[in-house]
Amino acid sequence: MPAKPIKAAVRTLQTTRNAARGALLWGYEQRLTREVKAHGKLPRHLGLILDGNRRFARAAGLQRELGHSFGAEKAHEVLQWCLELGIPAATIWVLSTDNSSREPDELAHILGLLEQEARKLATDPRIHANRVRVRAIGQHADFPPAVLVALRELEERTAHYDGMRLNIAVGYGGREEIVDAVKTHLERQAQAGLTLAEVADRLTPEHISAHLYAADIPDPDFIIRTSGEIRLSGFMLWQSVYSEYYFCDVYWPGFRRVDFLRALRDFQGRDRRFGR
């Protein structure tokens, strides 16, 4: 048989196989969706550690900056999944305090993306239709002015909403959050006229919890980390004491709805004992 007909036949076979795989994956996704919805138990507060952007780009032979760009698009997609399922609150960790040591051009790209995505969210019809309240948590004093303006405008435009709560953790570190909470508590007690000895004598865990960045929403009951790393890296250290964890091997930009649903199904099958 001539070479051209053989190549055409091979391409046709590959196309057919890909279509079949796609159909099977779609069917599996639909079944998972039905199972998760039928069970009904969903996290009240979902934590997402978005890890693996640079490794995704490297594996695909792309510039590392493109990994962050693909990761930003994936965050929009996952937001949609959360809205569809009715998850009340989510915190996505975009940039840690440790990331400030990255090369200047990479850090500038990440901050530029942050500004761009904040402005996009501020006008996103889904945000307003679902009354999503968005807040940036972390230490932002060293961010460029344009980034600070974009984050502030996003928060102001959604501050009155009573739907899903979305926290964007940027310039965030769990240790830094605890230190900031302690500082705030000490300052307020000093303003009330208490001595350091009196504050120390009365101090309880609830005093620290009251001054965390997102103190007005429940602690995360489920935390997903992508990329295969099995550690928290400081994500919500105080709040995650009783959280359930799920570590997914896929890099963040490649995180599929099937992966998301599998994680939720795993959560639904757990018996939470809160340390007991």
Distance of CA 157 to the CA centre of its chain: 21
Whole-angstrom distance, CA of residue 232 vs CA of residue 177: 15
Name the residue type at position 119. R
Q: Count of alpha carbons within 13 Å of 125, Cβ hemisphere only?
A: 0
Residue 235: which of 71, 44, 92, 90 has the closest Cα? Answer: 92
Q: Does the annotation flag 68 for ligand binding?
A: yes
Whole-angstrom distance, CA of residue 180 vs CA of residue 211: 8
Q: Does the annotation flag 174 for ligand binding?
A: no
Q: Does the annotation flag 225 for ligand binding?
A: yes
Residue 197: which of 207, 186, 206 has the closest Cα? Answer: 186
Q: Does the annotation flag 15 for ligand binding?
A: no
Q: Does the annotation flag 124 for ligand binding?
A: no
Q: Does the annotation flag 128 for ligand binding?
A: no
Q: Does the annotation flag 219 for ligand binding?
A: no
Q: Does the annotation flag 22 for ligand binding?
A: no
Q: Does the annotation flag 55 for ligand binding?
A: yes
Q: Does the annotation flag 32 for ligand binding?
A: no
Q: Does the annotation flag 96 for ligand binding?
A: yes
Q: Does the annotation flag 52 for ligand binding?
A: yes
Q: Does the annotation flag 102 for ligand binding?
A: yes
Q: Does the annotation flag 98 for ligand binding?
A: yes
Q: Does the annotation flag 175 for ligand binding?
A: no
**Which long-range contacts (C-beta less than 8 Å, at least 24 apart) are formed by 34-41?**
35/265, 36/85, 36/261, 36/264, 36/265, 36/268, 37/85, 39/265, 39/268, 41/267, 41/268
* Catalytic positions: 51, 99
Q: Does the annotation flag 39 for ligand binding?
A: no
| Residues placed in the known binding site | 51-56, 64, 68, 96-98, 102, 225, 231-233, 244
| Residues placed in the known binding site for substrate | 52-56, 64, 68, 96-98, 102, 225, 231-233
| Residues placed in the known binding site for Mg(2+) | 51, 244
